[in-house]
Structure 1
């Protein structure tokens, strides 16, 4: 994977995290992988 691809992935992940921060969940987000592992 090139550095440019890694930067693009990081940019997309950052956008997703910012989008998720706007959604009011009943519990605080701690670990994104675990928080959404059950569906």
Structure 2
């Protein structure tokens, strides 16, 4: 589960939150529905 360094701050925050919620890093903010 390595996050790419090509994500912007907003996506990074969203991914971080998604990790805490779903447990998996979501790269697509707003379009991440792989739960």
TM-score, normalisation: structure 1: 0.37
TM-score, normalisation: structure 2: 0.39
> Relative contact order (alpha carbons < 8 A, sep ≥ 6): 1 or 2 greater?
2
Between Structure 1 and Structure 2, the one with more helix by share is 1
Mark the structure with the bigger radius of gyration: 1
